[in-house]
Amino acid sequence: MPYSVNIMPNLDKPTLLGPHVVTLVYDGLCTFEFGIAYEIFGLSRPEMGADWYRFSACAIENGPLRAAGGLTVQVDHGLEVIADADLIVVPGWRGIGTVVPAPLVDALQAASRRGVRIMSLCSGVAVLAAAGLLAGRKATTHWRYVDSIAARYPDITVDADVLYVDEDSVLTAAGSAAAIDLCLHVVRRDFGPDIANSVARRLVVPPHREGGQAQYIETPVLRQREGARLGPLLEWMRERLQEEQPIAALAARAGMSIRTFQRRFEATTGMSPGEWLLSERLRRARDLLERQAAISLDDVAVASGFGSLATMRHHFRERLAVSPSDYRKRFTVLRPDGSALSPLR
């Protein structure tokens, strides 16, 4: 017999008067994103006083509803509760290409016309896009879904290199964990930095993370098979990231003219030779920072081909929006005394 979870108000809470947060529940619910929304907006926080958020779960269809993790969910409210919402949260949707029910689209559009803030977490952006709420706007989602959303909705400017986007009344978060960043951002907007910092401390997370999701994306896959000459050349270039690699020398090694080499290189990798080298040097530096806790930042810069820490720091800031030292901290396990134990993988 399957177990079920009944999502209903906590009757022990004091009467709250703050913004009403309504989080959607559906068949195939992404429980992680729902849990983040509840943890930040729905958890009892008597220290915040009566002006703290009110929280409701909203079933968009008849239940019981299945949820990730083998749960069956029963919800007390339906779409009617959206009429009283100040903020609507859409957890990760059940599929980028899955049809969004017309009654939900109508309810979200009506809420948007009333000026209600509407927020998506991870793939929940598909719901906002289907409702037409992102047309002509900037948005983000998990990097795996960026191309799909951009292809389906060319009127949306999709930014793959941010943790969240705040378009005032419409907000979107990138990957699942970026939902925490966006929810804390909303708390910061509504109640100020001190309250947001207090909530972050209770969650044991940074109140604000630097950088975008580009730092978590693996090495790009080649757009096509390397040719017989370019395949070995790419490996040769990877093995010599510390060396200068002028394009004329690379073209000569490939047995091509400079113009032909540049054209074929970009067709194979999707990048110019200079961009490809920079991405490989960043990948090498990231790998060393994640795995080698003892190596100095100067040595990482040399080993990855940047030559100097200043140059490496510039490219980290420019491409990943985070410093090398801050990047390393996120992948390092600390002993109780604060010293580095080993990098996380």
- CA–CA separation, 289 vs 327, rounded Å? 7
Nearest Cα to Cα of residue 289 among 280, 279, 299: 299
**Tokens linked to 283:** 């990948």
In whole angstroms, how far apart are CA 145 and each of 55, 93, 188, 237? 29, 11, 28, 31
- Asked if residue 279 lies in contact with residue 315, where contact means CB atoms within 8 angstroms, the answer is no
- CA–CA separation, 85 vs 80, rounded Å? 10
DSSP 306-318: --SHHHHHHHIII
User: Which one-letter amino acid corresponds to residue 82?
Assistant: I
Q: Indicate left, alpha or beta for 136 from its phi (over 0: left) and psi (-120 to 50: alpha).
A: left
Contacts with 262 (C-beta within 8 Å, 6 or more apart), sequence order: 247, 251, 272, 273
What pLDDT does residue 230 have? 82
- CA–CA separation, 310 vs 297, rounded Å? 10
| Digitized pLDDT (tens) for each residue of the chain, 345 residues in all | 445 555 555 545 568 789 999 999 999 999 999 999 999 999 988 888 889 999 999 999 987 888 888 888 889 899 999 999 999 999 999 888 899 999 999 999 999 999 999 999 999 999 999 999 999 999 999 988 988 999 999 999 998 878 899 998 999 999 888 999 999 989 988 888 788 888 988 888 877 676 666 656 565 545 444 455 688 888 899 999 999 999 999 999 988 999 999 988 888 877 899 999 998 999 899 889 877 878 999 999 999 999 999 999 999 988 888 899 988 887 665 445 555 544 433
User: Which one-letter amino acid corresponds to residue 26?
Assistant: Y
Burial of 168 (0-12, 13-18, 19+ CB in 10 A): exposed
Q: What angle do CA 83, 89, 92 make, to 5 degrees?
A: 135
What pLDDT does residue 344 have? 39
- Asked if residue 75 lies in contact with residue 28, where contact means CB atoms within 8 angstroms, the answer is no
Residue identified by tokens 């959607």 is 24
**Tokens linked to 56:** 């409701």
The three-state secondary structure class of 321 is coil
What pLDDT does residue 213 have? 67
DSSP 5-31: EEE---TTSPP--S-EEEEEE-TTB-H
Strands 117-120 and 87-90: parallel
What pLDDT does residue 329 have? 82
Contacts with 44 (C-beta within 8 Å, 6 or more apart), sequence order: 10, 12, 13
- Asked if residue 116 lies in contact with residue 86, where contact means CB atoms within 8 angstroms, the answer is yes
